[in-house]
Amino acid sequence: MADVADHCLKVTRPREDYMSLRINDEAPDFTAETTQGTINFHEWIGDGWTILFSHPKDFTPVCTTELGALAGLQSEFAKRNCKILGISVDGVSNHEQWSKDIESSQGHAVNYPLIGDPELKVVKAYDMLPADAGETSEGRTPMDNATARSVFIIGPDKKIKATLTYPMSTGRNFNEILRLVDSCQLTATKKVATPVNWNQGDDVIILPAVSNEEAKKTYPEGWKSPLPYIRIIPQPK
């Protein structure tokens, strides 16, 4: 049965604005049909965080493993007040059928919504496909959609906090994306940065923009300073 509602998708981003999205840009709003009904994106985000991620094609091997792995981590994202929203240029009915394969092969049910975007409106608005990619997913192969393996981390202010794009041949590490969410959430409220290979609970670095005088007031216990411009402290609560 055709996805009638797929043709009702609306994106509030003019065609001439289809260009690379950058960190701190407002995430384009849209209304779309998903496996869990119609959503208005900004309204759906609410006052929490969101992962918007795309995959090149339903019923393909790497994508099947990815969506299953993310389904297994959904509770961890939920602990961080972070919703998950998937998208591809396949229709909603395809997503629903494919979800059965994901659960049976990967051991996790896909309980987060998947957008059907057969008219390519959302993937173009998010620069996952070029503006001249056409107006329909009809006849498109996974290779045609190779650039559409992207991740956007979006904050409660509806602004993009981080982006990642992977090649079609490389599955994403969603534990790393979970770590990235942890870092984005911490640094959104504290004047710190997270160093290489940081994980939740590890030491962090005071931002260079924070003077020593201000840092002494906020962190009276002091800090470790292997170099004058590196000030290391325990992760703030």
Distance of alpha carbon 59 from alpha carbon 235, whole angstroms: 42
Does residue 130 carry a pLDDT above 90?
A: no
pTM above 0.75, yes or no: yes
Overall fold of domain 4-172 = Glutaredoxin (3.40.30)
Contact 194, 187 (CB under 8 A): yes
Question: Rounded to the nearest 5 degrees, what angle is found at the Cα of 195, between the Cα atoms of 194 and 196?
Answer: 130
Whether the per-residue pLDDT at 4 is higher than 90: the answer is: no
CATH classification (class only), 190-233? alpha beta
Scored b (16 or more CB within 10 A) or e, 67-78 reads: bbbbbebbeebe
pLDDT band (50, 70, 90) for residue 132: low
Higher pLDDT, 138 or 124: 124
In this prediction, residues 84-94 reach a mean pLDDT of 95
pLDDT digits (tens, 9 = 90+) for 36-50: 999 999 999 999 999
pLDDT at position 168, please? 85
Predicted local distance difference test score (pLDDT) of residue 144? 64
Where does the pLDDT of residue 149 fall: very low under 50, low under 70, confident under 90, or very high at 90 and above?
confident
Check residues 149 and 95 and name the one with the higher pLDDT.
95
Average pLDDT over every residue of 90-96? 96
Position 28, amino acid: P
Which tokens go with 135?
């107006």
How many CB atoms sit inside 10 A of residue 184's CB? 19
Amino acid (one-letter) located at 73? L
* Average pLDDT over every residue of 102-127: 95
Q: pLDDT band for 179, please (50, 70, 90 cuts).
A: very high
Task: Provide the mean pLDDT of the chain.
Answer: 90
Reply yes or no on whether 184 is catalytic. Answer: no
Checking if the pLDDT of 150 tops 50, the result is: yes
Percent of all residues in the chain with a pLDDT value above 90, rounded to a whole number: 77
The pLDDT, as a whole number, for residue 9 is 57
Residue ranges per structural domain of the chain: 4-172, 190-233
